[in-house]
């Protein structure tokens, strides 16, 4: 079988020159027939190996404040506006330090503090301040934060505290965002990302595939991320949570998820592309392997925020089997 023209183009443009595919070409990849998916993953894998190398970045996350969020993101079981089984909880500093040490022991280089909030208030900023100091005293690991929409002053303070990377997802295409949240806008999220970059922190920004967006909007989103140029893109697949407005949506099919992985890698040849939530549901064990051989070069170990992930050892064993070394801390500092 001859390769589809878009994959020939991807070899010449993305693999050879490191220039990501544009929106129209990304859409073509998202529309490839099932028979061409393996070849798309193969090209995406070669792109990742050429422009990022074989290392895989391993990251742990911990929720410092779970549930009770005032926002209404329709996919999120942490919104206080929906009747979901998630209850509001805050973690204390010793528990955070313990989680950071456990994460570092897996070989992970990033440890991300996540809070379910619109943006941090004074109490949360004080908790982050204390946590940053205690973690840095206890263990050598990069600390990232995901605390929602920031003010300029908060971005400045987080940078001064030594936050290495800040996560704030655009979640979906700008044109589709009003269908997933009404309490804030895509542009407000974008402004926070600009502040993060301005203050010298690495930008981590991704989203969720399978929230009812069209394939054209999926391609639009990939192109918008490419325009932003984040250091890391967490790629999630919707795991429809009970009680949320998106509870009734069907999970993305495995073939569509694999097309999305290949397409996002071909749009973003140099970024850290991370498997985040929903991969167990959408891809299972076989798909996880295909993803890591199809352009993914970062994983979260252990549990996600409100759903259980895979056993960390299973992921680490898989990386070893595939001869993909875990990226060392010294390479990221
Ligand atoms: S702002 Fe974050 S925690 Fe709050 S509802 Fe939206 S996704 Fe969930």
The CA 232 to ligand 1 mean position distance, Å, reads 19
Q: For residues 17 and 303, what is the distance between their CA atoms, to the nearest angstrom?
A: 37
Atom of ligand 1 nearest to the CA of 72: 5
User: Residue 20: its pLDDT value, please?
Assistant: 98
The CA 153 to ligand 1 mean position distance, Å, reads 22
User: Residue 151: its pLDDT value, please?
Assistant: 97
User: Residue 308: its pLDDT value, please?
Assistant: 43
User: Residue 286: its pLDDT value, please?
Assistant: 63
Buried residues in 197-220 as b, exposed as e (16+ CB within 10 A): bebebbbbbbbbbbbebebbbbbb
The CA 119 to ligand 1 mean position distance, Å, reads 10
Those residues of the chain that have pLDDT short of 70 are 1, 85-90, 277-287, 302-312, 329-333
What residues are in contact with ligand 1 under a 6 Å CB criterion? 69, 71, 73, 76, 78-79, 116, 118, 148
Atom of ligand 1 nearest to the CA of 184: 1
Residue of 79, 169, 188, 239 with the most ligand 1 atoms within 8 Å of its CB, for mutation: 79
User: Residue 261: its pLDDT value, please?
Assistant: 95
Greatest alpha-carbon pair distance for the chain in Å reads: 60
Task: Report the Cα 253 to chain-centroid distance in Å.
Answer: 19
List, for residues 53-97, the tens digit of each pLDDT value.
Answer: 999 888 888 888 888 899 999 999 889 898 876 666 667 888 889
Q: Report the predicted TM-score, pTM, of the whole model to 2 decimal places.
A: 0.92
User: Residue 103: its pLDDT value, please?
Assistant: 86
The CA 160 to ligand 1 mean position distance, Å, reads 25
Atom of ligand 1 nearest to the CA of 116: 3
For ligand 1, atom 6: residue with the closest CA: 73
For ligand 1, atom 3: residue with the closest CA: 116
User: Residue 61: its pLDDT value, please?
Assistant: 86
CA distances 118 to 61, 67, 142, 148, Å, are 18, 11, 24, 5
User: Residue 305: its pLDDT value, please?
Assistant: 47
The CA 74 to ligand 1 mean position distance, Å, reads 9
């Amino acid at each position: 079988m001859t390769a589809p023209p878009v994959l020939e183009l991807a070899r010449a443009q993305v693999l050879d020159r490191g220039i990501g595919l544009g929106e129209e070409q990304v859409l073509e990849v998202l529309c490839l027939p099932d028979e061409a998916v393996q070849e798309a993953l193969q090209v995406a894998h070669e792109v990742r190996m050429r422009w990022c190398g074989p290392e895989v970045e391993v990251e742990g996350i911990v929720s410092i404040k779970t549930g009770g969020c005032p926002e209404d993101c329709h996919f999120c079981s942490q919104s206080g506006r929906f009747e979901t089984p998630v209850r509001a909880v805050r973690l204390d500093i010793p528990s955070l330090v313990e989680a950071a040490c456990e994460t570092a022991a897996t070989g992970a280089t990033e440890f991300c503090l996540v809070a379910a909030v619109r943006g941090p208030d004074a109490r949360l900023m004080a908790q982050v301040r204390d946590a940053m100091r205690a973690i840095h005293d206890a263990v050598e690991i990069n600390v990232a934060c995901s605390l929602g929409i920031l003010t300029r002053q908060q971005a400045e303070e987080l940078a001064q505290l030594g936050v290495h990377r800040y996560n704030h997802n655009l979640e979906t295409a700008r044109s589709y965002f009003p269908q997933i949240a009404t309490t804030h806008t895509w542009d407000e999220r974008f402004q926070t990302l600009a502040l993060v970059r301005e203050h010298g922190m690495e930008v981590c920004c991704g989203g969720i595939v399978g929230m009812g967006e069209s394939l054209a909007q999926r391609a639009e989103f990939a192109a918008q991320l490419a325009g932003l140029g984040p250091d890391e893109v967490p790629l999630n697949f919707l795991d429809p949570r009970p009680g949320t407005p998106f509870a009734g949506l069907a999970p993305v099919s495995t073939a569509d998820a694999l097309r999305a992985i290949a397409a996002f890698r071909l749009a973003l040849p140099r970024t850290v592309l991370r498997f985040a939530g929903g991969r167990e549901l959408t891809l299972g064990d076989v798909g996880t392997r295909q993803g890591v051989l199809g352009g993914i070069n970062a994983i979260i170990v252990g549990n996600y925020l409100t759903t259980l992930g895979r056993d960390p050892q299973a992921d680490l064993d898989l990386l070893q089997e595939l001869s993909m070394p875990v990226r060392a801390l010294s390479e990221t500092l």
